[in-house]
Amino acid sequence: MDVLKGRGAVVTGAASGIGKAIATAFVESGAGVLLCDLNAKALDAAACELGSRAIGRVTDVSDEAQVESAMRAARQAFGSLDIVVNCAGFGAIAPLTEISGDKWRSVQAVTLGGVFYGVKHGARQMLDQGRAGVIINISSVNGRQPGEGQAAYCAAKAGVDMITRCGALELGARGIRVVGIAPGLVETPLTRKELEDPAMRQLFFGIIPMGRAVAAEEIGAAAVFLASDHARSITGDTIAIDGGSLTRGYPALLTGVKKSS
């Protein structure tokens, strides 16, 4: 179904994992997509794989000028900027008392700052073109649920959730929806490698009622729905897609692994 036919989109963190799954779902739904990522090689491969409606652009989302330029480029390439997905982000696993100031700042700059710049400049392009749009922020269950050794990441994702709510409040009357998706454990090449460790696999699967990881394609399908007119009254909320993991505690990534090994 071409539910996004004729729409222009930006997806950050689009070279792999969740971002690539969302970009793929958008292209399959008829949208043109500007794929943004720092990994030039993976970005070129993803754009080539997705075909003529996909354009790769190396972008550092912690740099406001680069984000602004990407939003403008997408509008020029597709005729309008209708959808922005702020997916780029990363975390660091370390005890709160040991994480360095540099690591804290880098997590906040990308995972939180990149979302702020994406909302700010995506909205500016939408307002300037006079055509309503949708901004989707990829959060995490860790925006609501503390994780051992993840103070920087949890704080950043909690901030993402609040940017979503503030954006919806300020921009709703001007025709722009701002919504969020909070994935739990998603199966990607990175997590697949981590879950090869039996102790880590037991920790994660033990707190997921459905007993499995979320497929990246499920996040892509949810993003298509939220970006479409079928979700035209959904704004300001962050939807968890986590197999039910929020009904239990987050796995103890520091002490839990030690106990299991």
**Which positions are annotated as active-site residues?**
153
Which is nearest to 251 in space by CA: 112, 93, 53?
93
User: Residue 255's CB: how many other CB atoms inside 10 A?
Assistant: 10
Asked whether the beta carbons of 89 and 156 are under 8 A apart, the reply is: yes
Q: Which phi and psi (to 5°) does residue 205 adopt?
A: -65, -25
CB 86 within 8 A of CB 12: yes
Distance (Å, whole) CA 146 – CA 226: 26
> How many CB atoms sit inside 10 A of residue 109's CB?
16
Q: Rounded to an integer, what distance in angstroms lies between the CA atom of residue 125 and that of residue 83?
A: 11
What's 109's DSSP letter? I
Q: How far apart are the first and last CA of the chain?
A: 48
Concatenate the DSSP letters of all residues of 183-205 into one string. E-SEE-HHHHHHTTSHHHHHHHH
Answer whether 142's CB lies under 8 Å from 157's CB. Answer: yes
Helix (H, G, I), strand (E, B) or coil at 260: helix
Residues found in the chain: 261
Name the phi and psi angles at 231, rounded to 5. -110, 25
Q: How do strand 177-183 and strand 134-138 relate by DSSP bridges?
A: parallel
